[in-house]
Chains A and B, each alone.
Chain A
Amino acid sequence: MRAVAVAAFAQTVHTGHDTGLSEPELLLPVLAEVRAKSGLRAFGFTCSGSCDYLAGAPFSFVSALDALGAWPPISESHVEMDAAFALYEAWVRLQHGDVDSALVYGFGKSSLGDLREIMTLQLDPYYLAPLGLDQLSYAGLQAAALGADRAELDAIVRRCRADGRRNPYALDLPDPTEQDDGHAAPITDGAAAVVLVAGDLLREYPRLAYLTGIAHRIEPHYLGMRDLARSPSAADAATAAGVGKGRVDVAELHTQFSHEELILREALGLPPDTLINPSGGPLAANPVMATGLIRVGEAAQRILDGTAGRAVAHATGGPCLQQNLVAVLSEEA
């Protein structure tokens, strides 16, 4: 495998409401920041992740290219998924060996519509979507399957919100209460970007976060065909990415619901001393379609600033952790 590393990461100061910025306007400062941090103006490959249903407009990712300056024509791609999966595509593209840099970004404004019902639209149109099964409902089924201790879940929310209050980019959410239990990630607007480098460019940076492993696996879509209390796809991806081959200082997990942390800890085989979601994680800021990429960015940032030597990032898509991506980042190639 060709060595690929994260050279720069940037994100918006996420908000729990619409600040009045359009998606390209949200993205522009983030792209400027990763260009400044990486010292790169143009990239061998560009890939983004977003969801048209969030804005309710077809091909909304095309207008986001305005934030990029896509002329003369650039080599560009898009996934209708969290941008962590765009990062996977960029990593694959860098494996070809003919380009040495890639820009990955994701953005989403879930304040515009009803996210819980927008998530119904991602369900299979024959058996699930006609029932109006919404995001909170299917998460409730998974939580019931897991049967987790309520106090343990409350503690996860309290920890994530406290960490989020220390993170200048996350929402400033109070300790959970009965009315605001925080078990579902908050509605959030935001964007994030990552620059990947490979080949000769690796020598240009004093410190990098090497992607030593990255893999994603998927499970059947229909909830009744799965054991919702476990995540075999996350476990397979973790094995393929080599999570268990060394210590894990930090893990940033794409937990949109508190119970998912317990499922993922188990699936990824994380040691008890691993710091989970020190950024506050999605329970403290969940800009849908950027949230998974932010996990990679936050994990990489810990390597770049020297507070971690080896970190794990996780991203997910589909109902009840259907598809899972796991990346291992290290200070060493």
Chain B
Amino acid sequence: MPSDLSARHILEFPGGYTRTTGPVIGRFLTELRDGRIVGVRTADGRTLVPPLEYDPHTGDPVTGEYVQVGPAGTVAEWTWVTAPRAAHPLDRPFAWAMIRLDGADTALVHAVDTGHPKAIRAGLRVWPRWRAERVGQITDIECFVPEVTMIVSPVRTEYTVTPGRALTRFLEGVRDGILLGGRCATCDKVYLPYRISCPECGSPIEEERQVSDTGTVTTFAINNLPDPRAPEVPFVSAYILLDGADTPMIALVGGVPAHEVRQGMRVRAVWVPEAERTLSMTNITWFAPTGEPDAELEA
């Protein structure tokens, strides 16, 4: 005979149930109110935290000797709570843990706030996070938090840099819409950008030589992390061997889906309009495919 009759029933001691603590637990809670954690010594010299009136192993009364422990400790066992209950100490996911406080021979059960289950493990060093307003309850410790083992160091300093003589000459060319290399007469190699000495033989480079703004992709990378210098994500950065040069330059490849870029692809520089050109590499937006057949790359 199913019935729809039901009622909400609440069992509660309004204002809470009054309990005396006795001297041992009372001492612990009093110290806790002052921000200290103490244990009590047993007759055989072990330190019980939290203190009990009797040694759980022998049944003998504990000694009257209280010792300060922790406040740091080491996590022994832990279990993660994904959905905290209303009565739990934290309103976000946390771990319950058995914490062996420094100087204690037993473990304290409390919550550990690590934010993420991957951040807690057996052996983790933790410290109490005290409540500002303490009343003499186990919850005067809001929870434990991991020991500080890492800091974030901001680093920033400013400089004024100049390009030097060779690079200035190269950028002047870029401003005028041409790409200047330097030819070493000894090695018969054209280096790009222009430089004033040969990196191979060390000879001074006397000859400027203009190279083409078309070239061949020798290798490339597809980048999925945004970069202020790239127009979009993903973008392709490539080594491009310009026609007439013996060394490749690094540049963006655009105007083509990233997955279509390949080694040997023929590309041409896309220049910004003449009126917008400055002494800067931003004069070349990127290199775009020319549509010519792919070039054979030397091994």
Contact = CB atoms under 8 A, between A and B. Distances in A.
A125 B19 contact: yes
A131 interface: yes
B106 A225 contact: yes
A222 B80 CA distance: 20
Contacts of B88: 131-132, 134
Interface in A221-269: 222-225, 228
B78 A141 contact: yes
Interface stretch (B108-116, B200-208, B225-233, B235-243): B108-116
Interface in B61-115: 76-81, 85-89, 96-98, 106-111
Interface string A102-129: 0000000000100011001000011110
B270 interface: no
> For this complex, into which size category does the number of interface residues on chain B fall?
35 or more
A73 interface: no
Given A126-B29, A222-B50, A224-B107, A137 B81 contact: yes
Q: Can you list the 3 inter-chain pairs with the closest CB atoms, starting with the nearest? A: A132-B87, A140-B79, A224-B107
16 contacts: A112-B9, A125-B17, A126-B19, A130-B139, A131-B111, A134-B87, A137-B96, A140-B80, A140-B81, A145-B77, A220-B52, A222-B109, A223-B98, A224-B107, A225-B107, A228-B98
B96 A127 contact: no
Nearest to B101: A224
B25 interface: yes
A168 interface: no
Nearest to A126: B25
Interface of B: 1-3, 9-11, 17, 19, 21, 25, 29, 48-50, 52, 56, 76-81, 85-89, 96-98, 106-111, 137-139
A131 B109 contact: yes
Given A20-B1, A131-B138, A224 B109 contact: yes
A79 interface: no
Given A20-B3, A137-B81, A132 B48 contact: no
Nearest to A128: B109
A25 B10 CA distance: 23
A75 to B, nearest CB: 31
Contacts of B98: 141, 145, 223-224, 228
Interface centre among B77, B81, B88, B139 (most CB of A within 10 A): B77
Nearest to B26: A126
B148 to A, nearest CB: 25
Contacts of B87: 117, 120, 132, 134
Given A127-B50, A222-B52, A224-B98, A56 B137 contact: no
A3 B228 CA distance: 88
Contact of A137 (B50, B79, B139): B79
A207 B72 CA distance: 62
A235 to B, nearest CB: 16
A102 to B, nearest CB: 31
Contacts of A131: 88-89, 109-111, 138-139
B77 A225 contact: no
